[in-house]
Amino acid sequence: MARPKSEDRRNAIMAATTRVIASQGLGAPTSLIAKEAGVSNGSLFTYFETKADLLNQLYVELKTEMASAALDGVPADTDIRDQMASMWSGWLRWATADRDKRRTLAQLAVSDEITGTSREIGHRAMAGAAKILERSRENGPMRFAPLGLVAGLMNAAADATVEFIVHDPANAETHSRTGFEAMWRMIA
């Protein structure tokens, strides 16, 4: 009889995968991930059929976590600028709280291993953020640009802001406001 799967063990594998990918890249062997998680390589494959399955599940979890952090606390009864500022701050908190997650998600986002199904789940997780972004650009210079381009430009501004926050945490609030103002002028 097979032993039941442990949620703690699965979480340990996911956390280890995040750390290993952040430091070693997507080509890191599963044996290194298993060692980092404190499980055998065979045990890893009890939880995930293949490395691709592991990467896809991690992508979905990180994308969902990021979306949740960005949207948590966004006030529904304020103007769109305040909603966008709240979303910006939530995303920055997520991105600076665990840099390994941000690095890993960035690598997974461009990986050929991530399936269309996983990308669609990630897209759905970001639907609330996309709605706020759409409303933010309704009357701005980016209103006719493809949403993907606008999101990419916003992400580039956010990534630059995160780097400044990480390297100069004493001025994190100033960097956050400056980055937001630059992004807001670009899209709204």
Indicate the pTM of the whole model.
0.91
Q: Is the pLDDT of residue 1 over 90?
A: no
Cα gap 153→170, rounded to integer Å:
26
- CA dist list (Å): 115 to 40, 52, 54, 121, 128: 26, 9, 12, 10, 22
Write down the pLDDT at residue 6.
87
Cα gap 159→94, rounded to integer Å:
12
Q: Is the pLDDT of residue 167 over 60?
A: yes
Task: Give residue-wise pLDDT tens across range 2-55.
Answer: 556 789 999 999 999 999 999 999 999 999 999 999 999 999 999 999 999 999
Cα gap 21→55, rounded to integer Å:
10
Domains of the chain are 1-48 (1.10.10.60), 52-187 (1.10.357.10)
Write down the pLDDT at residue 156.
94
Cα gap 90→176, rounded to integer Å:
11
- CA dist list (Å): 139 to 40, 93, 184, 185: 55, 28, 12, 12
